[in-house]
Amino acid sequence: MNLVQFVIEGIGFAIKAIQSNRTRAFLTMLGVATGIFAITSILAMVNSLKTSITENLSALGNTTLFIHNWPWADNHDDWYKYFNRPKVSFREYERLKLQLPPEKIEAIFFQATVANQTARAYGRSISGITVAASTPGVSVVNDFNFSQGRFFSDIEFNMSAPVCIVGHTVAENLFPNEPAVGKYIRIKNKRLRIVGVLEKVGSSLFGMSGEDEMVFIPYALAPRLFNLSRRFVDKLIVVKVANYEDLEYIENEIRGIIRAARGLKPAAEDTFSINKQESVIQQIDQVFGFLEKGGWAISIFSILIGGFSIGLIMYISVRERTNEIGIQKALGATRSFILYQFLVEALLICLLGGALGLMGVYGLTSAIQYLIERADVSMEVAIRSREIFVGLGLSAGVGILSGFAPALIAALIDPVVAIRHS
């Protein structure tokens, strides 16, 4: 018997054995499918969450530094200390702009953000919006995409012109089915002319509205609308470094300039934080690493149950087919062929179970993606090729490991004893 015939006949015998015990084989497949469904769905969700968050952070650029009173790192133990830190100021922004080497800086801007505001226009209103007042460099760091209009001109920035750029949701609520550019809105009784409308972004993973429910204004205009010294006004300085090689140098320069501006003594700790997306991504990797390990730990029990059920079913199958094994051996079947035949049967059951589990994961991820799209959240949930290979690989591994012992028992049966067993 050549190799090809050996393989084909072994598969044929395995398929016939499965067909003759369809119910038992299907129930065994369900055990494997449950384990594969558990681990694959967890991996798919964890990887989708990680990809969504990482992509959003990466869009900020790995050469961008964010100076704020709060650190982006885990700060739940010291939240009170960070809450009472002084916020970065426009004067500190001006110092940085003046003292940082211009050849190493691509952009720098200051932004004051005021949440929970209301915009009104022509009898309509929208509440819960965020107003962001920024200096000119914001357009270099943030990649604004417009569905209508344009960004602020230099004259509008410098002359504190009463103009604004609105997000998709703001424009849609205040000016349904009509162009918003050139129209006027009121915020804090200040009349602002819309010069641009941003493209729809959708909600973020955690329900935050992002740009869709924001209104951008020139920073010089902000004191006419808000008391910027109030605690509820959030403030941020953003520095985009020209080259990654200069990132650490600029970070140290920023630290020195702000410490000097605040009169901090050499031994005193910083009263501000310099955040960068690299450190956040590293923390995210750690968090999702723990989640992934937890998923494996939970799922391994389901896989073990499936493996034990495969081993038990295959052992029962060997006992039931002892006479058949004896006849095969009497007709010239070798031990290796008998071993291969039962291994293939176990492998096919597990692969079919794995495929069933993957089909379940595909249905689950499709349903979740549909709900996410209905909720207008920017996140893609899908089963990727990596999860498919992991699922099928685990199925194959479970089949081989669980079926090996029963297959070996079948291969070692004495043909005379096997025929007499009938």
Q: Is the pLDDT of residue 398 over 50?
A: yes
Least confident of 38-47, 80-89, 154-163, 216-225: 38-47
> What are the structural domain ranges in the chain?
3-57+282-421, 86-271
Number of other residues whose CB lies within 10 A of the CB of residue 38: 21
Pairing of strands 163-166, 214-218: antiparallel
CA distance 16 to 81: 71
Residue 56 has what pLDDT?
64
Residue 386 has what pLDDT?
79
Q: How far is CA 78 from CA 237, 258, 376, in A?
A: 22, 21, 34
Q: What is the mean pLDDT of residues 82-94?
A: 92
Pick from 77-91, 107-121, 303-317, 349-363 the range whose average pLDDT is largest.
107-121
CA distance 279 to 287: 13
Q: Is the pLDDT of residue 412 over 80?
A: yes
Query: Of 59, 42, 131, which is closest to residue 378 (Cα–Cα)?
Result: 59
- What 8-state DSSP symbol labels residue 69? S
- Residue 38's pLDDT band (cuts 50, 70, 90): confident
CA distance 310 to 348: 11
Residue 203 has what pLDDT?
58
Q: What is the mean pLDDT of residues 374-396?
A: 78
Residue 273 has what pLDDT?
92
- Residue 4's pLDDT band (cuts 50, 70, 90): low
- What 8-state DSSP symbol labels residue 211? G
Phi, psi of 377 (to 5 degrees): -105, 135
In this prediction, what percent of the chain has a pLDDT beyond 70? 88
Q: Is the pLDDT of residue 21 over 80?
A: no
- Residue 99's pLDDT band (cuts 50, 70, 90): very high
pTM over 0.85: no
Least confident of 61-65, 282-286, 339-343: 282-286
Q: What is the mean pLDDT of residues 299-313?
A: 77
Residues 117-170: tens digit of each pLDDT: 999 998 899 999 999 999 998 988 888 889 999 999 989 998 889 999 999 999
Q: What is the largest CA-CA distance in the chain?
A: 103
Residues 198-214: tens digit of each pLDDT: 998 865 544 444 789 99
Q: Which residues neighbour 182 within 8 Å (Cβ) at sequence distance 6 or greater?
A: 193, 194
Q: What is the mean pLDDT of residues 404-408?
A: 86
What mean pLDDT value characterizes the chain?
84
Q: What is the mean pLDDT of residues 242-269?
A: 92
Residue 350 has what pLDDT?
87
Q: Is the pLDDT of residue 306 over 90?
A: no
Least confident of 207-216, 271-280, 358-367, 386-395: 207-216
CA 367 to chain CA mean position, Å: 17
- According to DSSP, the residues that pair with 111 across neighbouring strands are 134, 236
Residue 139 has what pLDDT?
87
Residue 234 has what pLDDT?
94
Residue 183 has what pLDDT?
95
CA dihedral 32, 17, 12, 36 (to 10 degrees): 0
